[in-house]
Amino acid sequence: MKKAIIIGATSGIGKSLAELLASNGYQVGIAGRRVELLEEMRLRLPNQPLICQIDVADTENAIASFKGLAEEMGEVDLVVISSGVDYVSRDLPWEKDKMIIQINVMGFTAIANTAFNYFLEQGRGHLVGISSVTAVRGGLVTAYNASKAYVSNYLEGLQFRAYKSKKPITVTDIKPGYVDTPMAEGKHLFWAASPEKTAQQILGVIDKKKDHAYVTKRWRLVAWVVKMMPRKLYYKS
C-alpha cells in the first residue's frame, strides 16, 4: 500500500486530494491546524488515516511534527504541501504580508526542505508543492504572488538537486488557476474548478510523475498570455 502525507488537509485542494488518495488505496497521513476537522476526516476516510496537528507558521514545531508523522507511518511515498493563505485588500497592510510570508514561504520551506531530505535518506520519494498560476507575474495581492513565485523557484531547485542525487526522487510543481475554495471567497472567478476536479487532475500528474503542471490544463494558456503581455497592457488588465 502506498503512503502519502498531505500538509494542509483540512480544506480546499488538500482535503479533496487526501480524500481522493484514500479512496484510491493510499494510506494517508493528514495534517493541518484544526484537529477537529482532521478527526472528522479520520473517522470517515478508508484505510485508517493518521492525523497530526501541524501549523506551518510555527516552523520548528512543524518540522518536528512532520518527522514524527513520517516515522509513525513508516516509509512514505508521497508528500503534498497544500497549506497556504491569501487575502483580498485595497491596502497593503504589513501584517497581512507578514502572515503570507510566514506561512507561504517560511512554512512551505520548512516542510519542503524536511521532506526532501527525508526522501534523500530513504532513497526515493515524490514531493508535490501547490504553487499558483499567479507565480508567473507580480500582482495586486503582492506578497501572495511573490510567495508563489518563491514556491515554484524553490521546487525547481529541488528538482535540480534530485537530478544531481541520481536517486528516484520526483519533485512536482502544481500551478492551479482559480479553485472554488474558501480562500477564493470574494473574488470574481472565471474558469473556477471544483476542488474535486482539481484533485483529480493533480492525481493524474502524480501518477505520471511530471515535474510541472497547470490545473486545470487550460491555465497553461492563461499563464503564457500573462507572461507575454506588455507591462502597460498588463497593468490595465
Q: Which domains does the chain have, with CATH numbers?
A: 3-236 (3.40.50.720)
CA torsion 132-137-138-141 (nearest 10°) is: -30
Sheet architecture: strand order including 212-215: 50-53, 27-32, 3-7, 78-81, 125-130, 169-176, 212-215
To which residue does cell 508523522 refer?
Answer: 69
To which residue does cell 507575454 refer?
Answer: 228
CA torsion 200-203-209-213 (nearest 10°) is: 40
3-state secondary structure of 190: coil
Share of the chain above pLDDT 90, in %: 77
Name the band, by pLDDT with cuts 50, 70 and 90, for residue 186: very low
Return mean pLDDT, the chain: 92
Q: Answer yes or no: is pLDDT of 158 > 50.
A: yes
Q: What is the pLDDT of residues 56-97, one digit of tens each?
A: 999 999 999 999 999 999 999 999 999 989 887 778 999 999
- E strand or H helix that includes residue 234: helix 231-236
Predicted local confidence at residue 204, as pLDDT: 97
**36-41, Cβ contacts within 8 angstroms, sequence gap of 24 or more:** 37/10, 37/11, 38/9, 38/10, 41/9, 41/10, 41/15
Higher pLDDT, 166 or 180: 166
Name the band, by pLDDT with cuts 50, 70 and 90, for residue 187: low
pTM: 0.92
Q: Which residues of 105-138 are buried (b: 16+ CB within 10 A; e: fewer)?
A: bebbbbbbebbbebbeeeeebbbbbbbbbbbbee
36-53 average pLDDT score: 94
Predicted local confidence at residue 183, as pLDDT: 53
Q: Which residues are catalytic?
A: 144
Q: What is the DSSP letter of 11?
A: S
Helix axes 12-23, 195-208, angle to 10 degrees: 60
Q: Which residues fall within 8 angstroms of residue 134, CB to CB, at 6 or more apart?
A: 141, 144, 145, 148
107-127 average pLDDT score: 98
Nearest to 195 by CA among 3, 42, 34, 6: 6
22-43 average pLDDT score: 96
